[in-house]
Structure 1
Amino acid sequence: NISLSYNSCRNRHCPKCQGEKRDAWILAREAELLPVPYFHVVFTLPSELNGLVMYEPKSVYDALFAASWQTIAVFAKDPKHLNAQAGMIAVLHTWGQNLSLHPHLHCIVPGGGVDAKGHWRKARSKGKFLFPVKAMSVVFRAKYLAELRQRLKEKVPQTLLNALYKKDWVVYAKRPFGSPKSVVEYLGRYTHKVAISNHRIKIVDDKTITFSYKDYKTGAQIKEMTLSHEEFVRRFSQHILPKGLVRIRHYGILSSTWKRARLPALQQKLGQKQTEIKGKTQRVRPCKCCKTGSLRTILCFDQRGPPEFYKEIWEKLNRSVLV
């Protein structure tokens, strides 16, 4: 069986064009894993900031990255907790299941850090938790509002700042992953996601679009929502990031500079076997008919697609496959 796979638009907001980038990114991260527990930490912005996001998205999101890392770094350097330099990989998500605006960071944080002498220090919680989340929430709020005022200055109304100072902010930390392999599997689900994937869109007619979503208020039940074309486009467009904004960032001992200079030595100290990345990863595409076989590329057209010139070649390929 032959199937057409059209040219990729290569846009990071397209749900069909992120597979190969995701696979290559995961392969690179797999080679950098340490044999230590990893924690999943989520930093969420209050809904009161949604209006400001629409006017100053880059400043709001950059402040979110900066404040989240400062919060992790402050607790890691505290002698009561770790007294070492930590690391973090942060991935920006801006959506909820119903396409509402819901900016938050998904962060992967190793359960330990590197001290001033280059030695690895384990988290003092015996691997059960990273840092106290209530204390992190207070620090995160202060760090974020300081970053926001520095970036936008008089553009932030004082009434908004007062309301944000009074509100309890949310920092969520899950228990550590079961193994380094599960870290990679988790990253694959979150790194290159977009606001909605094609399989969630159920019905499209002349006036409305119906899609499925998880309602976490009712125990993550799968429900369906119907929106007009205009409302669907409006909600989706809220999640188109400003040009040049990096949505996956690495900090501390997981930053590119630190890893190039010191990661191999740290992996050797901790007994982690180093793996080499050989060649470019090739995504495995399952057959749409039998669901078990794998598709392989046998012919590539030019950027303008398959015109009449390729019609004869296409017919010969079909005949050869049928025979």
Structure 2
Amino acid sequence: MYTPNQLQEVIENAVQNIKYPTHPEMLYEPISYIMSLGGKRIRPVLTLMAADLFEGDINTAMPAALAIETFHNFTLIHDDIMDNAPLRRGKQTVHEKWGVNNAILSGDVMMVEANKHLSMLDSQVLKDALNTFNATAQGVCEGQQLDMEFEEQDVVSITDYINMIRLKTAVLLGGAMKLGAQVAGASPAEAEQLYAFGENLGIAFQLQDDILDVYGDPEKFGKQIGGDIIANKKTLMLLKLKELANANDLLELEQQSINKDHVDKIKSTTALYDNYSIRELASIEMRNYSDKAFSALSSLQIKEERKAELFKLADLLMNREY
């Protein structure tokens, strides 16, 4: 079995060896740029780990892994435009560097590039792989749309929020693993079980991100602590607070939503979270989904030693500080 670190290195080399056309330069240079910004490459790593789990050749599964990574970076380009984000992984975002119109078009071509990677898969698995990839990609777009709509809605239920992060974040982890399993010749039931592992892990991962945004160590988290509070982002924690808070505290929360003093806003909102034990309640919800993920992996009828690296990676992700 390969370790995640070994697969990260393999994927990094494969990404660096992708040859994009050189003309028009303004179309393809942004693609090379964002693909070279690195990151943990966790999604393509999961694709290769899934293939390896079923004793598949990681080189045979590499086109699927590159399709997933290319699609993921395509969504980052468009997400950054919608969020008007200036930085991505500490570097200028594509739309800041090349302009919005170029960024949109380069993102569009990345979707084509992802499909070109998929087309290199063996014809025996191509149809199933395309179905999985398309369902995954569509789900991510649906999740992004819901996220935008939530910004304009006064009332969002916790159930709706969980479904949104399932689509926006978790289906890509599930889809990445299902693709790897399919390429390696897993049965439909096995591939679906691995999808359940990835999807539940993805939901737990995002819920943990919500918690770290408020309570993480700023030296380790890598992002501004309290960013979600400043942006009035409807996270599980905020929705749970609104569900439990009394009238006076709800009024305080409403007043804080328009507070321009970010330091005071974070401090006051965090105090409300503390008063209602929101961190603990969110952690219980997070563990609920991580338990579902571990259960799906545990019940997969494969030798335990072959699942060991996946268990280690999942455990690492669920106990991270950043």
TM-score range, shorter chain: under 0.3
Greater Rg by CA:
1
Higher helix proportion = 2
Structure 2 length-normalised TM: 0.26
Higher strand proportion = 1
